[in-house]
Amino acid sequence: MARHPRERRIEICPMRPSDLDQVLEIERLSFRAPWSRQVFVEELERDWAHLDVLTERGPSGSRVVAFCNYWLVRDEVHILNIAAHPDERRKGHASRLLAHIVDFARNHGCRFITLEVRKSNHGAIKLYRSFGFRPVGIRPNYYVEENEDAVVMLLELATGTE
């Protein structure tokens, strides 16, 4: 079947330094205390850090519409960020990135995936719950700029050794 000429293709791939400006824009539009360029540069240099971008390729070229940042530490993946550009929300991009991270964790033999999420971010909590994450604790005043607590969430993965 021929592809419609205006169809957009979605790809998830490792972030490149050339993606940084687009990721910084998404970061700035998504978070109350956005990370600086330097923090992202440092993350790109860390062996345990993984930054991936979700790119849409269409007739007018390609652009980053969402990104994620997660760490692989022993048998655990810790998610730091998942964000989509505000114009691209409610299109399944965060779900795609979360599924990508879960696949990564399984492929690396991880037992757990953890994350912190704002207590007030009901949409994100609902998304994480749909993947099987469960709340396991509260980090009081984790988001100090608004004096907001974080919910610690955990996904336990079945491993081949159980």
Catalytically active residues are: 116, 128
21 vs 23: CA distance, rounded Å? 5
User: Which of 53, 47, 35, 44 has the alpha carbon at shortest distance from 17?
Assistant: 44
* Distance from chain centroid for Cα 89: 13
Q: And the tokens for 156?
A: 């336990």
Distance spanning both ends of the chain, measured CA to CA: 43
Tokens of 55: 């790119």
* Cβ 98 vs Cβ 104: under 8 Å: no
Structure tokens belonging to residue 109: 């033999």
- DSSP-assigned beta bridge partners for residue 154: 114, 134
